[in-house]
Structure 1
Amino acid sequence: MSAVITSLAPMAFAQDVDKDPGRGLPVEEYHYGMQLDVKNVLHRTDNSSRTGVVPVTVVYEDHSGELHKIRFLEWGGSTSNG
């Protein structure tokens, strides 16, 4: 899973939460070792204010122009002061 997070990190992510280009797409659950063909990331869940392990949904375009929606877990970006 960290390979997916690392491979998606350098890409520019869409910040507008109201516009979900993947609306209506089925969600694929990521499994370790899954091969992804990512040409362009169109939307990513903003977890910067969440703590702990949280679900992330990413909508991306593959090299043939098809859109995909995938979900995986990552550490939220916020820290808790107890």
Structure 2
Amino acid sequence: MKFAALNATLIAAFAPMAFASEKAPASSKVEVQEYQYGMQLDIDQVLQRTDNSRKSGVVPSVMVYRDSQGEVHAVRFVEWGGLSNQNG
């Protein structure tokens, strides 16, 4: 239990640094918004998403999407990389 709490603390501490190095996709000219838990997203079509399939651990990701009104938005969040579960 202590390991899980320590792990969560470390992830929370280093996430802002990971976000600083992750840029919005080059094709988008929209401002990237930080995802907040519980945020309501109106996603009609995903246009672009960071490929984290070859990364491990918790990594930053950016998703560019079009809403139901046709406006383009970008949101940054963290997710588990695709290599995280291959050793288990």
**What TM-score does the superposition give when structure 2 sets the normalisation length?**
0.64
Deviation at 1:20, TM superposition (A): 4.7
The answer to whether 1:65 aligns with 2:66 is no
**What TM-score does the superposition give when structure 1 sets the normalisation length?**
0.69
Q: Percent identity?
A: 53
| Selected match of 1:47 from 52, 55, 67 | 52
| Selected match of 2:42 from 24, 37, 55 | 37
Deviation at 1:78, TM superposition (A): 1.1
Instruction: Return the alpha-carbon distance in structure 1 between the equivalents of residues 45 and 29 of structure 2.
Output: 19
Task: Give CA-to-partner distance per residue, 1:2-58, whole Å, 9 cap, x none.
Answer: xxxxxxxxxxxxxxxxx854x221100000000000000000000000011000100
Runs of 4+ aligned structure 1 residues displaced above 4 Å come to none
Gaps of 5+ in 2: 1-24
Gaps of 5+ in 1: 1-18
Note the aligned Cα RMSD (angstroms).
1.8
Instruction: Return the alpha-carbon distance in structure 1 between the equivalents of residues 73 and 26 of structure 2.
Output: 12
* Count of matched residue pairs: 62
Larger Rg: 2
Instruction: Return the alpha-carbon distance in structure 1 between the equivalents of residues 38 and 75 of structure 2.
Output: 14
| Selected match of 1:28 from 27, 33, 40 | 33
User: Is the Cα contact below 8 Å between 1:20 and 1:43 reproduced in 2?
Assistant: no
